[in-house]
Homo-oligomer: A and B are copies of this chain.
Amino acid sequence: MSVTDELLQNAERYAADFDKGHLPIVPDRHVAIVTCMDARVNPFAIFGLHEGDAHIIRNAGGIVTDDVLRSLAVSQRLLGTEEIIIVHHVDCGIRKFDNSEFLDQIEEESGLRPPWGSDAFPTLADDVRQSVARVHASPFLPRKHSVRGFVYDEKTGRLLET
């Protein structure tokens, strides 16, 4: 049995006990959280969130890319979120490799160089500040009064504001 099949058995159990069919599409807490895809980062648990509370946007690094700006534009303009929380984390995969070497390796194997990269700045705090700055610089987001950036430490479970 594949892992996917095992997870689908869990999903059947979730559906059997499901009691959240009444929740509206607009997030109850009017907040969007941007964070890394890392398996150890559980934004529901960290922030005490439940189904219906918040938009959660995740990619490799929790970097504010164009696709994250698209998601935030949908979140704010169509679904009424007001605040943005950005969380990067200490032991992040994308800070463990050289971006150029990663792209070189893919190019060698596939014959094509990807149109994207995973840019990392000198320090983790710089990464977070760059992502916060990209939100502020975007002409497409109407609400920027609360855009806050954090570093999560997966060894201690603590958040540090940058």
Contact = CB atoms under 8 A, between A and B. Distances in A.
Interface residues of A, number: 89
Interface string A28-69: 111110000111111011111111111111111000011111
A48 B110 contact: no
Number of copies: 2
Interface of A: 2-4, 7-8, 10-11, 13-15, 18, 20-21, 23, 25-32, 37-42, 44-60, 65-71, 73-75, 77-79, 82-83, 85, 91, 93-94, 96-97, 102, 105-106, 109-112, 114-118, 139-140, 142, 146, 148, 154-159
A73 B4 contact: no
10 contacts: A11-B46, A39-B51, A39-B53, A44-B45, A56-B58, A59-B71, A66-B67, A67-B68, A74-B93, A74-B102
